Chains A and B, each alone.
Chain A
Amino acid sequence: EDQVTQSPEALRLQEGESSSLNCSYTVSGLRGLFWYRQDPGKGPEFLFTLYSAGEEKEKERLKATLTKKESFLHITAPKPEDSATYLCAVQYSGTYKYIFGTGTRLKVLA
Protein backbone atom coordinates (compact mmCIF):
# COMPACT_ATOMS: atom_id res chain seq x y z
CA GLU A 1 0.00 0.00 0.00
CA ASP A 2 1.29 3.44 -0.91
CA GLN A 3 2.07 5.45 2.20
CA VAL A 4 3.53 8.77 3.26
CA THR A 5 5.04 9.07 6.73
CA GLN A 6 6.19 12.31 8.31
CA SER A 7 8.49 12.65 11.29
CA PRO A 8 8.69 13.91 13.89
CA GLU A 9 5.02 14.49 14.71
CA ALA A 10 5.94 17.62 16.66
CA LEU A 11 9.09 19.69 17.00
CA ARG A 12 9.98 22.55 19.31
CA LEU A 13 12.94 24.73 18.37
CA GLN A 14 14.54 27.79 19.82
CA GLU A 15 14.72 30.76 17.47
CA GLY A 16 17.82 30.30 15.32
CA GLU A 17 18.09 26.56 15.97
CA SER A 18 18.18 24.84 12.57
CA SER A 19 16.59 21.43 12.02
CA SER A 20 15.04 19.12 9.42
CA LEU A 21 11.64 17.55 8.90
CA ASN A 22 11.35 14.17 7.19
CA CYS A 23 8.82 12.77 4.71
CA SER A 24 9.28 9.15 3.65
CA TYR A 25 7.21 7.37 1.02
CA THR A 26 6.81 3.95 -0.51
CA VAL A 27 8.14 3.93 -4.03
CA SER A 28 5.79 3.18 -6.87
CA GLY A 29 6.58 5.57 -9.68
CA LEU A 30 6.78 9.01 -8.10
CA ARG A 31 5.18 11.74 -10.14
CA GLY A 32 5.79 14.55 -7.68
CA LEU A 33 6.36 15.34 -4.00
CA PHE A 34 4.81 18.45 -2.51
CA TRP A 35 5.41 20.45 0.66
CA TYR A 36 2.81 22.72 2.23
CA ARG A 37 2.62 24.94 5.28
CA GLN A 38 -0.65 25.06 7.21
CA ASP A 39 -1.54 27.60 9.89
CA PRO A 40 -4.31 26.79 12.39
CA GLY A 41 -7.76 27.09 10.86
CA LYS A 42 -6.39 27.85 7.38
CA GLY A 43 -5.94 25.95 4.15
CA PRO A 44 -2.49 24.57 3.29
CA GLU A 45 -0.16 27.03 1.57
CA PHE A 46 2.00 25.62 -1.21
CA LEU A 47 5.76 25.69 -0.63
CA PHE A 48 7.62 23.35 -3.02
CA THR A 49 7.22 20.67 -5.68
CA LEU A 50 10.01 18.14 -6.28
CA TYR A 51 10.02 15.68 -9.16
CA SER A 52 13.19 13.61 -9.12
CA ALA A 53 15.89 12.37 -6.77
CA GLY A 54 18.63 14.91 -6.24
CA GLU A 55 16.39 17.89 -6.81
CA GLU A 56 16.55 20.78 -4.31
CA LYS A 57 14.48 23.94 -3.94
CA GLU A 58 14.86 26.91 -1.61
CA LYS A 59 12.68 29.69 -0.34
CA GLU A 60 13.86 32.06 2.35
CA ARG A 61 14.78 29.90 5.38
CA LEU A 62 13.38 26.70 3.87
CA LYS A 63 15.11 24.17 1.64
CA ALA A 64 13.51 20.99 0.33
CA THR A 65 15.48 18.00 -0.93
CA LEU A 66 14.45 14.68 -2.46
CA THR A 67 15.97 11.21 -2.54
CA LYS A 68 14.51 7.99 -3.91
CA LYS A 69 12.68 7.20 -0.69
CA GLU A 70 12.35 10.41 1.28
CA SER A 71 12.32 14.17 1.31
CA PHE A 72 13.67 16.61 3.85
CA LEU A 73 12.51 20.09 4.64
CA HIS A 74 15.47 21.93 6.17
CA ILE A 75 14.72 25.02 8.23
CA THR A 76 17.69 27.30 8.75
CA ALA A 77 17.71 29.77 11.64
CA PRO A 78 13.94 29.59 12.15
CA LYS A 79 11.88 32.46 13.49
CA PRO A 80 8.67 32.29 15.56
CA GLU A 81 6.65 33.10 12.43
CA ASP A 82 7.79 29.77 10.96
CA SER A 83 5.62 28.01 13.53
CA ALA A 84 3.01 25.97 11.65
CA THR A 85 2.17 22.44 10.57
CA TYR A 86 4.18 21.28 7.57
CA LEU A 87 2.48 18.77 5.30
CA CYS A 88 4.03 16.47 2.73
CA ALA A 89 2.08 14.91 -0.16
CA VAL A 90 2.96 12.50 -2.92
CA GLN A 91 1.44 11.87 -6.33
CA TYR A 92 2.18 8.59 -8.07
CA SER A 93 2.36 7.96 -11.80
CA GLY A 94 -0.87 6.89 -13.40
CA THR A 95 -3.09 8.57 -10.84
CA TYR A 96 -4.61 11.96 -10.22
CA LYS A 97 -4.72 11.27 -6.48
CA TYR A 98 -2.44 12.72 -3.84
CA ILE A 99 -1.50 10.95 -0.60
CA PHE A 100 -0.85 13.21 2.38
CA GLY A 101 1.18 12.61 5.50
CA THR A 102 -0.18 13.60 8.89
CA GLY A 103 2.17 16.55 9.17
CA THR A 104 4.85 17.88 11.52
CA ARG A 105 3.74 20.54 14.01
CA LEU A 106 6.60 23.00 14.36
CA LYS A 107 6.83 25.47 17.21
CA VAL A 108 9.63 28.03 17.20
CA LEU A 109 10.21 29.76 20.53
CA ALA A 110 11.51 33.31 20.76
Chain B
Amino acid sequence: DGGITQSPKYLFRKEGQNVTLSCEQNLNHDAMYWYRQDPGQGLRLIYYSQIVNDFQKGDIAEGYSVSREKKESFPLTVTSAQKNPTAFYLCATGTSYSGNTIYFGEGSWLTVV
Protein backbone atom coordinates (compact mmCIF):
# COMPACT_ATOMS: atom_id res chain seq x y z
CA ASP B 1 0.00 0.00 0.00
CA GLY B 2 1.54 3.30 -1.06
CA GLY B 3 1.74 6.38 1.05
CA ILE B 4 3.21 8.10 4.04
CA THR B 5 3.30 6.29 7.36
CA GLN B 6 3.75 8.09 10.64
CA SER B 7 4.24 6.29 13.92
CA PRO B 8 3.32 6.15 16.64
CA LYS B 9 -0.12 7.76 16.39
CA TYR B 10 -0.06 8.68 20.08
CA LEU B 11 3.01 9.21 22.25
CA PHE B 12 3.45 10.33 25.82
CA ARG B 13 6.70 11.88 26.98
CA LYS B 14 7.94 12.47 30.46
CA GLU B 15 9.75 15.67 31.30
CA GLY B 16 13.42 15.48 30.31
CA GLN B 17 12.99 12.65 27.81
CA ASN B 18 13.83 12.64 24.13
CA VAL B 19 11.32 10.98 21.83
CA THR B 20 11.50 10.10 18.14
CA LEU B 21 8.63 10.24 15.68
CA SER B 22 8.89 8.09 12.61
CA CYS B 23 7.98 9.06 9.04
CA GLU B 24 8.34 6.56 6.21
CA GLN B 25 7.24 6.96 2.58
CA ASN B 26 7.16 4.70 -0.45
CA LEU B 27 6.12 7.37 -2.95
CA ASN B 28 9.70 7.89 -4.15
CA HIS B 29 9.41 11.57 -3.26
CA ASP B 30 12.65 13.54 -2.85
CA ALA B 31 11.44 16.13 -0.38
CA MET B 32 10.24 15.49 3.15
CA TYR B 33 8.93 17.94 5.74
CA TRP B 34 7.99 18.07 9.41
CA TYR B 35 5.27 20.43 10.59
CA ARG B 36 3.83 21.18 13.98
CA GLN B 37 0.13 22.02 14.39
CA ASP B 38 -1.29 23.78 17.45
CA PRO B 39 -4.94 24.81 17.92
CA GLY B 40 -5.71 28.15 16.27
CA GLN B 41 -2.38 28.32 14.48
CA GLY B 42 -1.32 27.42 10.99
CA LEU B 43 1.07 24.60 10.34
CA ARG B 44 4.59 25.64 11.28
CA LEU B 45 7.65 24.19 9.59
CA ILE B 46 10.17 22.45 11.83
CA TYR B 47 12.65 20.92 9.36
CA TYR B 48 12.73 19.96 5.72
CA SER B 49 14.95 17.89 3.47
CA GLN B 50 15.25 18.00 -0.29
CA ILE B 51 17.73 15.14 -0.71
CA VAL B 52 19.32 12.37 1.29
CA ASN B 53 21.95 13.47 3.82
CA ASP B 54 20.85 17.08 3.65
CA PHE B 55 18.24 19.02 5.63
CA GLN B 56 17.44 22.60 6.60
CA LYS B 57 15.92 24.26 9.62
CA GLY B 58 12.44 25.60 9.32
CA ASP B 59 10.82 28.36 11.34
CA ILE B 60 10.70 26.55 14.70
CA ALA B 61 13.65 24.13 14.71
CA GLU B 62 14.85 24.82 18.26
CA GLY B 63 14.52 21.74 20.44
CA TYR B 64 14.14 19.38 17.49
CA SER B 65 16.56 17.29 15.41
CA VAL B 66 16.24 15.20 12.25
CA SER B 67 18.22 12.87 10.03
CA ARG B 68 17.84 11.84 6.40
CA GLU B 69 19.97 8.74 5.88
CA LYS B 70 17.53 7.12 3.46
CA LYS B 71 15.23 8.59 0.86
CA GLU B 72 12.27 6.80 2.43
CA SER B 73 12.78 7.93 6.01
CA PHE B 74 12.86 11.26 7.87
CA PRO B 75 12.62 10.73 11.65
CA LEU B 76 12.05 13.67 13.99
CA THR B 77 13.48 13.72 17.50
CA VAL B 78 11.82 15.98 20.04
CA THR B 79 14.51 16.72 22.60
CA SER B 80 14.21 17.74 26.21
CA ALA B 81 15.22 21.23 25.10
CA GLN B 82 11.82 21.71 23.46
CA LYS B 83 9.91 23.49 26.21
CA ASN B 84 6.39 23.05 24.92
CA PRO B 85 6.33 19.85 22.87
CA THR B 86 2.68 18.90 23.29
CA ALA B 87 1.26 19.18 19.76
CA PHE B 88 0.13 17.35 16.63
CA TYR B 89 3.09 16.56 14.36
CA LEU B 90 2.67 16.12 10.64
CA CYS B 91 5.09 14.68 8.10
CA ALA B 92 4.74 15.59 4.44
CA THR B 93 6.47 14.59 1.21
CA GLY B 94 6.65 16.02 -2.26
CA THR B 95 8.57 16.32 -5.50
CA SER B 96 8.65 18.64 -8.45
CA TYR B 97 7.14 15.76 -10.43
CA SER B 98 3.98 16.12 -8.32
CA GLY B 99 3.71 19.75 -9.34
CA ASN B 100 5.25 20.88 -6.06
CA THR B 101 2.24 19.55 -4.20
CA ILE B 102 3.06 18.08 -0.81
CA TYR B 103 1.12 15.20 0.72
CA PHE B 104 0.66 14.52 4.40
CA GLY B 105 0.74 11.53 6.68
CA GLU B 106 -1.92 10.89 9.31
CA GLY B 107 0.01 12.68 12.05
CA SER B 108 1.34 11.87 15.50
CA TRP B 109 0.03 13.25 18.77
CA LEU B 110 2.69 13.98 21.36
CA THR B 111 1.70 14.74 24.94
CA VAL B 112 4.01 15.61 27.81
CA VAL B 113 3.01 14.02 31.09
Instruction: List residues of chain A with CB under 8 Å of any chain B CB.
Output: 4, 31-32, 34, 36, 41-46, 49, 51, 87, 89, 91, 96-103
Residues of chain B at interface, number, CB under 8 A:
26
Instruction: List residues of chain B with CB under 8 Å of any chain A CB.
Output: 4, 6, 31, 33, 35, 40-45, 48, 50, 58, 88, 90, 99-107, 109
CA of A98 to CA of B94 in the docked complex: distance in angstroms? 11
Nearest CB on B from A96, distance (A): 6
> Which DSSP category, helix, strand, loop or mixed, fits chain B's interface?
strand
Q: Which one of A36, A41, A98 has the greatest number of beta carbons of chain B within 10 Å?
A: A98
Measured CB to CB, the nearest residue on chain B to A42 is B106
CA of A102 to CA of B40 in the docked complex: distance in angstroms? 6
Q: Which one of A36, A44, A49, A51 has the greatest number of beta carbons of chain B within 10 Å?
A: A44
> Which DSSP category, helix, strand, loop or mixed, fits chain A's interface?
strand
CA of A97 to CA of B40 in the docked complex: distance in angstroms? 21
